[in-house]
C-alpha cells in the first residue's frame, strides 16, 4: 500500500512541471548561470588568460554541496515541498484520496517523494557545478584539477548525505506546518523563517559557545559540523563524539517532526478537504 502511494505521488510530481522546475531545478540553474556569468565578467575585465591558475573540481563540488541547504536554496525547495505536502488542501482532494489508502501511507509517501526530489536536486547541483567548472577553465585558460586538497569521492558522498539530511529536517517541518496550516504559503513562510533563524543562531552561538546543547539543538549548526567532519582534512578539528551527537540530533529532528506530522494528520477532519 505504501508503494502504491509512493508511485501515485511520483506520478503526480513528474507531471507537475511547474513544481519540478521552480522547486527542485531553479536554484541549481541559477547557481550555474551566476558561476559562468561571473567567469565571463572576470575574463572580459582581465582580457588575458590565466594559465597558471587551476580549477579544483572536488573543491567546487564540496562548496556547492555546502550551500545546498542555504536559505536561498531552502526557499525553492520549500516551494516544491509545499506543493507536494499541502497541495491536496489547496485543491480539496484529500477526501478523494483517504478512502484509497491509510493516512500514514499517504503522508509518508509525500515525504518520501519530497526526499527523492531533494536528492535529484543535489545531483543536479553537482552536475551543473562540474559543468560550470569545465566552462570556467575554458573561458579563463585555467587548468582543471580533480582535487587540489586530496578530496576523495567518500568525502563528497559524505557531504552529499549530510546536506540531504539537513534538507529533510526542513521537509519534515514542512509536513507539520502543512497539516496544521493547510496552506502552501504557510509552509514556505514558516520553513524559510526557520532556516533563516537557524543560520543566525548557528553563527552567533557557534562563535560564542561552540559544541554546547544550545548549538547542538540547531540543525544548521549540526549539518555544518558534520560537513566539516566528513570533508575537511583531519575532520576539520571536529571530534568523533561531536560528529556523532550532531548526526543523532539531525536524525532526531527529522524523525520527531515526521512522527508529529503523521500523528496530527491521523486526527484531522478531512471531510471538507
Residues 61/149, Cβ–Cβ less than 8 Å: no
Name the nearest CA neighbour of 23 among 34, 13, 12, 11: 13
Q: Which residue has the cell 567532519?
A: 229
On whether residue 271 sits in a domain, the answer given is no
On whether residue 125 sits in a domain, the answer given is yes
Arithmetic mean of pLDDT over the chain: 88
Range of the domain at 53: 2-266
Query: How many domains would you assign to the chain?
Result: 1
Q: Residue 214: what pLDDT? A: 82
What is the mean predicted confidence (pLDDT) over 102-119?
96
How many of the other CB atoms lie within 10 Å of CB of 81?
35
On whether residue 272 sits in a domain, the answer given is no
DSSP strands (E only) in 89-245: 143-145
Query: Which has more pLDDT, 40 or 135?
Result: 135
DSSP 19: H
In angstroms, the CA 121 to CA 23 distance is 9
Residues 6+ apart with CB under 8 A from 225: 211, 238, 242, 243, 246
Residues 6+ apart with CB under 8 A from 127: none
Lowest mean pLDDT among 2-6, 26-30, 268-272: 268-272
Per-residue pLDDT of 111-154, as tens digits, reads 999 999 999 999 999 999 999 988 888 877 777 777 767 778 88
Amino acid at each position: 500500500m505504501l508503494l502504491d502511494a509512493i508511485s501515485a505521488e511520483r506520478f503526480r510530481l513528474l507531471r507537475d512541471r511547474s513544481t519540478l522546475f521552480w522547486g527542485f531545478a531553479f536554484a541549481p540553474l541559477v547557481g550555474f548561470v551566476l558561476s559562468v556569468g561571473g567567469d565571463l565578467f572576470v575574463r572580459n575585465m582581465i582580457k588575458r588568460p590565466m594559465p597558471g591558475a587551476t580549477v579544483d573540481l572536488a573543491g567546487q563540488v564540496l562548496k556547492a554541496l555546502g550551500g545546498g541547504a542555504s536559505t536561498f536554496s531552502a526557499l525553492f525547495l520549500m516551494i516544491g515541498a509545499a506543493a507536494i505536502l499541502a497541495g491536496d488542501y489547496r485543491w480539496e482532494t484529500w477526501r478523494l484520496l483517504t478512502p484509497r489508502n491509510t493516512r500514514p501511507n499517504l503522508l509518508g509517501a509525500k515525504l518520501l517523494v519530497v526526499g527523492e526530489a531533494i536528492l535529484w536536486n543535489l545531483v543536479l547541483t553537482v552536475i551543473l557545478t562540474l559543468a560550470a567548472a569545465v566552462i570556467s577553465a575554458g573561458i579563463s585558460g585555467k587548468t582543471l584539477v580533480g582535487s587540489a586538497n586530496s578530496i576523495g569521492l567518500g568525502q563528497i558522498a559524505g557531504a552529499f548525505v549530510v546536506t540531504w539530511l539537513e534538507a529533510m529536517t526542513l521537509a519534515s517541518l514542512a509536513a507539520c506546518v502543512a497539516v496544521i496550516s493547510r496552506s502552501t504559503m504557510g509552509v514556505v513562510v514558516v520553513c524559510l523563517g526557520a532556516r533563516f533563524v537557524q543560520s543566525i543562531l548557528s553563527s552567533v552561538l557557534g562563535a560564542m559557545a561552540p559544541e554546547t546543547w544550545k548549538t547542538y539543538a540547531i540543525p544548521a549548526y549540526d549539518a555544518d559540523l558534520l560537513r566539516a567532519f566528513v570533508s575537511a582534512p583531519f575532520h576539520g578539528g571536529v571530534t568523533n563524539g561531536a560528529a556523532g551527537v550532531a548526526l543523532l540530533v539531525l536524525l532526531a529532528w527529522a524523525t520527531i517532526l515526521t512522527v508529529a506530522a503523521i500523528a496530527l494528520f491521523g486526527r484531522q477532519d478531512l471531510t471538507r478537504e
